[in-house]
Amino acid sequence: VALDADTGELAWHYQHISNDQLDHDWAFERQIMNLRIDGVMRKAVITGGKLAIFEALDAATGEYLFSFDLDMQNVVTEIDSRSGRKTINPAAIPELDQVISQYSMPGICPDWLGARNMQATSYNPDTKMLYIPISDTCLDDNTGERWQKYPDDSTKGSWGIIKAVNLQTQEVIWEQRQTGPQSSANLTTDAGLLFIGSTDRWFKALDQATGEVLWERRLDNALNSYPVTYRVDGRQYVAVATNSGGIHTRTMKSAAGITLPVAGATLWVFALPE
């Protein structure tokens, strides 16, 4: 929804997905940016849901502009190009009196935590690049059995992905896989760095243009926070907090076979080169 900041009145609303029985909602950060669409500069609101489908709406009117699917899901089979309305795979939704074990689908992708969740994306307004943290997981959801997350067979044990998307063309420019799912938000800097943090305790600086790892440091616990950058006396710093708490971190590390130290919060601060 969009509200008038002066009056609180509803300006417009848009439903990204209807009849959401699988908890694949669109409840995360929304970034406002200027994009050229069909030759016209538009102020757009960009957001992505758990299915790793990202959508652009006109910030003033809520008009649907475009979608792009990062190919991490088997729930939505079609997206209407004019309205954004989604067609749901009927095999993913049980009918009345149908038990889950009778699904025709072998598994639901992504799992209920989503291909992306509270770990925020980061955007470079100069290059129009959006950097997206992804967890490549599916879910066996059978009646009477303990649910089990598992990676797509093609991952070869690499559950985490960073995807770099050019929002002007909606094309994936590069992607990088890593063993641990990402548990921190992304952070971009003017110098072309992308900072990421994963469940297996790695904090890394990547080249925004290529995805190459330029620097990495293994910390004392999972990076379960939003990194920030700031400047003091002309020197730039990056800070991030670690902690093993939170359902997202606990669930992901169990699925990935990652052992974390005992719970405890630490604030780490690093200085960038002068």
Give whole-number Cα distances, 71 to 45, 134, 165, 253, in Å: 21, 11, 13, 23
Sign of CA dihedral 60, 65, 70, 73: positive
pLDDT reported for residue 99: 54
pLDDT reported for residue 127: 97
pLDDT reported for residue 256: 56
Q: What are phi and psi of 63, to 5 degrees?
A: -60, 135
Residue closest to 114 by CA, chosen among 70, 164, 65, 83: 70
The amino acid at 242: T
What are the per-10-residue average pLDDT scores of the chain (274 residues)? 96 94 91 94 97 98 97 95 94 65 66 89 97 86 52 64 96 92 92 93 96 95 92 97 70 61 86 92
pLDDT reported for residue 97: 58
pTM confidence score:
0.89
Residue closest to 116 by CA, chosen among 56, 186, 204, 17: 186
Q: Where are the beta strands (DSSP E) in 18-52?
A: 31-37, 40-48
pLDDT reported for residue 139: 78
pLDDT reported for residue 90: 85
What is the H or E stretch that residue 253 is in? helix 247-256
pLDDT reported for residue 155: 55
Could you give all domains of the chain from N- to C-terminal order, each with its CATH number?
A: 2-271 (2.140.10.10)
pLDDT reported for residue 172: 98
